[in-house]
Amino acid sequence: MAESGLAFCAAMAAAAAIPAIAQADAQPAALQDRRAYIDPDARTSDDPVRIPLRTTAANGPELVIRGGRVFDAVDNVARPATVVISGNRIRAILPPHSVDWSSDAQIIDATGKTVMPGLIDLHTHVTYPDRNEPIDEQDSEGAGTLRGQRNLRHFLEYGFTSVRDLNGVSNAPFLLSSWSAANAIPAPRVFAAGWIITGTGGHATERPITPSHGPKFAKEVDGPDAWRAMVRKAFKEGASVIKIASHFSADEVRAAIDEAHLLGLKVTCDCETIYTDLAVDAGIDMIEHPLPKSEAAIAKMARARIAAVPTLQVYQNLLDRAGGFYGSTSRRFTMTSQGNFDQFKKMKAAGIVMGIGTDTIGEASMMAPNSYIAELKWFVRGGYSTADALKAATIVNARLLDMGDKLGSLEPGKLADVIIVDGRPDENLDDLARVNDVIKDGIHYIADGQLVVPRHMPLPLVKPSPPADVK
Ligand SMILES: [Zn+2]
């Protein structure tokens, strides 16, 4: 005990020397090595894989948001300013008196409102079945894709411009990701893991088997070669992140992380107790949920800059309601809601960077944004200022996605994911329920709280052939 206590204190001292926000930029060496071959000014796909693309000129009128107070997630204090969007990028943040925009610009009046970066939820499952859904639709890729589209629209309406989806049915999460990236559906950006990778009988595959415990959701694989192969398969299908879950051997988790990093992807883990130690020793990038972990693991996480996505509110609710995990083979520990919150406080005290995720499952997306606001309030209860909680929701989450250079703050050159809130969420988190306007990828999807889908413009016939004399 004394030894681990010493290590814990040493980690706290080491972590204190590094600003918490900066730590989230830490990248595995392999990811940095891969990026070194791409010109930082080159246009690339807007996901962690960063495929070089041909540059295209911005078209359409500029979008100007004026009159509001801007919380840019760089400073902790909002200030009067004007945000100018050109194409899908923020071109400028102007002082209030400046009118430096094109004459045909569209103006949005944000007087009395707060303009801020779009919200990011780092832990969703938008394709999970709803309760009472017909059994044959629960693990259907088609039904999962439709559920996901419905749930993503709810998220978008309340200011979420990115979600990280950490397990779903078949390839539905990847389909939603690519359709959203092309703006073919109104949805936040979807950074999809696709499926959980776990050992046979591991978390999310345990008995009693339900459709969402079946092979279309979690991939049970055994042996380091099989774990490596499953990471490659997720990459092939379009993964932006790899999600693993206990249980696994040291060899298996090392193989998965090594392969993911070579491919340019981060790895996150739903793990607890001894599996957290194995994942941390293998170089995992972040850990989901508070769940029991050793003080030595917390100290190592701080030292190695391994982040956490605590998903506090859902576990607080679950543990308050049920009193613990019972009858679970992958959650073989006892824990109370107080113990859960204590884990959060220990991680914060150690200087571990933490992101905001709700662990929303299926129809729970109907609760958006209430569960998200509750999560932010738990962060404040655990010692964050309101402004720092909003930064966790935006710029820190963007960095944890490996998208900190493109998303998460209002700065020139960043992707135009911008929301307008009727209130002051940097002073009162409840105001986040009053999102008026949502711009994602430069497109004004939500105007005055309503989804706006421009009418499809018919393409001309390839070879006009109607009789010229018929009117
Ligand atoms: Zn989850």
**Alpha-carbon distance 159 to 376, whole Å?**
15
Distance 378 CA to ligand 1 centre (A): 18
Domain contains 291: yes
Position 469 in a domain:
no
Instruction: Determine how many CB atoms are found less than 10 A away from the CB of residue 455.
Output: 5
Same domain, 27 and 63: no
Q: Are 79 and 93 in contact (CB under 8 A)?
A: no
- CA torsion sign for 335, 336, 337, 339 is negative
- Averaged pLDDT, 7-36: 50
> Does the residue 189 lie in any domain?
yes
Tell whether 203 and 74 lie within a shared domain: no
| 439 occurs within a structural domain | yes
Residue 25: what pLDDT? 53
Q: In sequence order, what E strands does 143-207 have? A: 160-165, 189-192, 196-198
User: Among 390, 407, 424, which residue terminates a domain?
Assistant: 407
Q: What pLDDT sits at residue 264?
A: 94
Q: Which of 80, 79, 122, 75 is nearest to 388 (CA)?
A: 75
Assess whether pLDDT exceeds 50 at residue 10.
no
Mean pLDDT of the region 139-150: 97
| 9 has pLDDT over 50 | no
Determine the distance separating the centroid of ligand 1 and the alpha carbon of 408, expressed in angstroms. Answer: 22
Distance 243 CA to ligand 1 centre (A): 10
pLDDT value at position 460?
86
Average pLDDT across the chain, whole number:
91
Q: Indicate whether 60 belongs to any domain.
A: yes
pLDDT band at 112 (very low <50, low <70, confident <90, very high): very high
Query: CB of 119 within 8 A of CB of 394?
Result: yes
Query: Residue written as tokens 């918490």?
Result: 20
Question: What is the maximal distance between C-alpha atoms in the chain?
Answer: 95
The counts of H helices and E strands in the chain are 15, 21
**How many domains, the chain?**
2
Residue 455 lies in a domain: no
Q: pLDDT tens digits, residue range 258-280?
A: 999 999 999 999 999 999 999 99
Q: Which two tokens stand for residue 179?
A: 């359709």
> How much is the pLDDT for 7?
35
Report pLDDT for 29. Answer: 67
CATH number for position 167: 3.20.20.140
**193 plus 338 within the same structural domain:** yes
In a domain, 462, yes or no: no
Position of tokens 């809130």? 421
pLDDT one-digit tens code per residue, 431-440? 999 999 999 9
- Please say if the pLDDT value at position 468 is more than 60: yes
Query: Mean pLDDT, to the nearest integer, of 435-446?
Result: 98
Residue 464 domain-assigned (yes or no): no
Q: Please spell the DSSP secondary structure of 340-358, one letter per residue.
A: HHHHHHHHHHTT--B----
Average pLDDT on 274-295 reads: 96
Distance 204 CA to ligand 1 centre (A): 9
* 389 and 257, same domain (yes or no): yes
Residues 416 and 380 in one domain: no
Which structural domain range is residue 54 located in?
43-117+411-450
Rg (CA), the chain: 23
Q: What is the CATH number of the domain that holds 112?
A: 2.30.40.10
- Identify whether residues 397 and 287 lie together within a single domain: yes
- Same domain (yes/no): 240, 296: yes
| CA 360 to centroid of ligand 1, rounded, Å | 7
Could you tell me where the DSSP H helices lie in 325-427? 337-349, 370-381, 386-391, 397-400
pLDDT, one tens digit per residue, over 175-231 is 999 999 999 999 999 999 999 999 999 999 988 888 888 899 999 999 999 999 999
Span from the CA of 284 to the centroid of ligand 1 (angstroms): 17
Residues 181 and 271 in one domain: yes
In sequence order, what DSSP letters do the residues of 207-271 get, joined into one string?
SSP-GGGSTTTEEE--SHHHHHHHHHHHHHHT-SSEEEES---HHHHHHHHHHHHHHT--EEEE-
pLDDT at 3 over 50: no
Distance 149 CA to ligand 1 centre (A): 18
